[in-house]
Amino acid sequence: VPGVLGQVLVPAISEQFGRKDTGRLSAIYVNSARYLMALAFPLAAGGAALARPLIIAMFGEPYEEVILPTQILFLGSAVFATSFSTTGIIMGTNRPGFLLVKSLFVVPASIGLALALIPRYGVIGAAVSHTLGLLFFPVTVWYVSTRFKVGWPMGDTVRIALASLGMAACVFLLTHYLQALWILPVAILLGIGVYLSLLLILRVPQTQDWEILLSLQNRYGLTRNLA
């Protein structure tokens, strides 16, 4: 889901870069980061919280060993999806050289970590080594921030993370104490409701976000279609 949004960033950023509209360029970067986090963080947190009951329900108890690697990969996917915002602005402004330089460090480190961890820890070591490159994400944020003089939305990052963790805690406790197959769809629906409520409580949505929703409603008649 975040990948769909991430794929449209490069042409949108390229357009503003060609127009030399730095204000609009910065706005796209910050807002895309917020929206990607709002999508990726709850998916990752919820996936990690529901990994055990989902795997047991789908594949059975013999597959318990893949629960922890799945949780690691879920959490890593949140950073990966969010990185579409930084990658989009780097590629959209014709600066791919930074990504090449970063790969010169990330790839050898990832291979070395895999060779060290996989023989000893198996699939868990493979999951950890796979997510190593995501640790360099702050370096990419620093590069974009210094190059374009625009800061990362740290406040929204903290609030979205708290909302995601709160949602994950609720669904984890529910599935932990009510271990039944029917509880999974209930937990997912509950998680969505808790997450959206926490976003409102923590005041994550801004005026521009409501304006976008109103614009979509007017353009596609969402209220009329639902009715």
Walk along the chain (227 residues) and give the pLDDT tens digit of each residue.
777 777 788 888 888 888 888 888 888 899 999 999 999 999 999 999 999 999 988 898 889 889 999 999 998 889 989 999 999 899 988 888 888 988 898 888 888 989 999 999 998 999 988 887 788 888 899 999 888 888 899 999 999 999 999 999 999 999 888 877 788 899 999 999 999 999 999 999 887 777 767 765 666 554 444 44
Identify the pLDDT of residue 217. Answer: 62
Alpha-carbon distance of 140 to 147, in angstroms, equals 11
Identify the pLDDT of residue 152. Answer: 92
CA angle 36/130/29 to nearest 5° reads 25
Candidates 64, 50, 79; CA nearest to 169 is 50
Alpha-carbon distance of 126 to 128, in angstroms, equals 5
Candidates 125, 130, 113, 29; CA nearest to 79 is 130
Tell me the whole-structure pTM to 2 decimals. Answer: 0.85
Two structure tokens written together for 145: 């921030």
Q: Which helix (H) or strand (E) holds 11?
A: helix 9-19
Q: For residue 96, give the amino acid letter.
A: P
| Sequential DSSP letters for 75-119 | HHHHHHHHTHHHHHHHHHTT-THHHHHHHHHHHHHHHHHHHHHHH
Question: Residue 7 burial by CB count (10 A; 0-12/13-18/19+): exposed, middle or buried?
Answer: exposed
Identify the pLDDT of residue 164. Answer: 96
